Amino acid sequence: MSRNLSLTDTSPMLVYTDDWQTYFSGSGYNTQDGQLGQGSSVHLTSRNGAQISLDFFGNAIFLYGNGTYDVSLDDVVASTGAKNGLLFAKDGLAEKNHSVTLTARMDGAQTFGFAAAIIGCASSVVDERAFDDADPFFSYSPNWITFSAPGVPNATTTLPFHQTTVSGASVAFTFSDASTVAVHGTLNSGHGRYSVALDGDTAKVLSGDGRWLVPDTVVFFQTGLDPTQKHSINITNLDDDKKFVLSSVVLNPVASSFEDEPASTASSSVHTPTAVGSEQFEQRRPERGVIIGASVGGVVGLALFATLGMVVTAKQLGRTLNKYFKDHPSVTIIRIDYNDVKNEVCWELPDGTASGEVGGEGIFPHIYGRCMHKSDIESVAVWDRQDGAWDAALESGAAWLVY
């Protein structure tokens, strides 16, 4: 059988090169170091040639994002395209070490977003086992403390975690009956480098530093382990006065809340994930309105990449309407009409609410009223609930209006 391990874009196991920014659907862009990331995250770049790399052991790899790109698998170009949702899927690989690199390709003001990777690997072990940081499963050296923070590990649950700021402080654990191990922790400004040694091999050095407080992510993983053998992991903090945080370890993790569809290749033992986590991706078409992204394929990513599209191509309008959405959860989608005569995009507010309310407290007065001058937007792309089709007649970018 096959197991799937999901990595969100925040995992330090993913290597980003060139200029990337992290965006959270509930927090927006970072405004200060240590800001709590809320909602779904995505890494954004406007730099042509920016890359994401991942080394993994397994027989399948799936990459999720939005934009124009090419993918190299084991140093061979495997795919090029422009998609929203599942960007790249390859199963039936030899069960061994692989490397995958995704390169963003864009011209002008385009932006690329990366959201998640899923690794498939063969496994004879079916039971997922989780150990929180206080479990006797862990052996801590001196200089660790137990701490907690609101929003960690998520917005609805606050749980304690172990942290250290002392160079050389370490934590170790051993396990068997597992083919995959995932170590969870937090990232934040003021976190530093840490090393992870598996079964006494050369330690892998990673970094937990970043401007966001990421409340929960996979800070290390390994697939393809022999479940009949005993394995050991030792994690060491490498920098004085820099934090390392351990929240939990999961053995044989299952990619949460995803549905499987038969893979397109002959390898029937591997399945193509089409949705990853209730917050990360939504496979179904939403019953309530969402801010709409250009050419969302209807497969995955409506909730996340609608927000992505909003920020990328109509920043001011998008941010204001995103705030408006949070205060008005029962929105429905309307059609936007493009008016060539007046050089404006006009819309209707079906329940009669004052149109100025869409602008929100005068933050962006240029979007008040029922029309916007076309110089303030780039195009129109809407989902028409009545005829069940995308209307993206204009070719440049996207503007959003949902009510």
Architecture of domain 125-251: Sandwich (2.60)
Architecture of domain 1-123+255-278: Sandwich (2.60)
Residue 403's pLDDT is 29
Q: Is 376 exposed, middle or buried (0-12, 13-18, 19+ CB in 10 A)?
A: middle
Q: Do domains 1-123+255-278 and 125-251 have the same CATH topology?
A: yes
d(CA 287, CA 331): 10
Which strands, in side-by-side order, build the sheet including 371-373? 337-339, 344-346, 371-373
Residue 25's pLDDT is 83
Q: Are 227 and 125 within 8 A, CB to CB?
A: yes
Beta bridge partners of 88: 63
Phi-psi region of 274 (alpha: psi -120 to 50; beta: other; left: phi over 0): alpha
> How high is the mean pLDDT in each 10-residue block of the chain (403 residues)?
83 94 87 89 92 96 92 92 86 94 85 91 78 97 95 89 98 95 96 98 96 95 94 98 96 55 31 35 24 24 34 36 44 36 40 33 30 42 38 34 33
Residue 40's pLDDT is 86
Any residues with CB less than 8 A from the CB of 53 and at least 6 apart, and which? 14, 15, 17, 99, 100, 101, 102
3-state per-residue secondary structure call for the chain: CEEEEEEECCCCCCEEECCCEEEECCCECCCCCCEECCCCEEEEECCCCCEEEEEEEECEEEEEEEEEEEEEECCEEEEEEEEEEEEEEECCCCCEEEEEEEEECCCCCCCEEEEEEEEEEECCCCCCEEEECCCCCCEECCCCEEECCCCCECCCCECCEEEECCCCCEEEEEECCCCCEEEEEEEECCECEEEEEECCCCCEEEECECCEEEEEEEEEEECCCCCCCCEEEEEEECCCCCEEEECEEEECCCCCCCCEEECCCCCCCCEEECCCCCCCCCCCCCCCCCCCCCCCCCCCCHHHHHHHHHHHHCHHHHHHHHHHHHHCCCCCCCCCEEECCCCEEECCCCCCCCHHHHCCCCCCHHHCCCEEEHHHCCCCCEEECCCCEEECCCCCCCCCCCC
d(CA 393, CA 339): 13
List the chain domain ranges: 1-123+255-278, 125-251, 314-391
Any residues with CB less than 8 A from the CB of 157 and at least 6 apart, and which? none
To which residue do tokens 């969402």 refer? 290
What pTM, to 2 d.p., does this model score? 0.67
Residue 34's pLDDT is 92
Residue 149's pLDDT is 92
Any residues with CB less than 8 A from the CB of 48 and at least 6 apart, and which? 104, 105, 106, 107
Provide Rg for the chain, Cα atoms. Answer: 23
Residue 346's pLDDT is 45
Residue 362's pLDDT is 26
Residue 126's pLDDT is 65
Q: Is 12 exposed, middle or buried (0-12, 13-18, 19+ CB in 10 A)?
A: buried
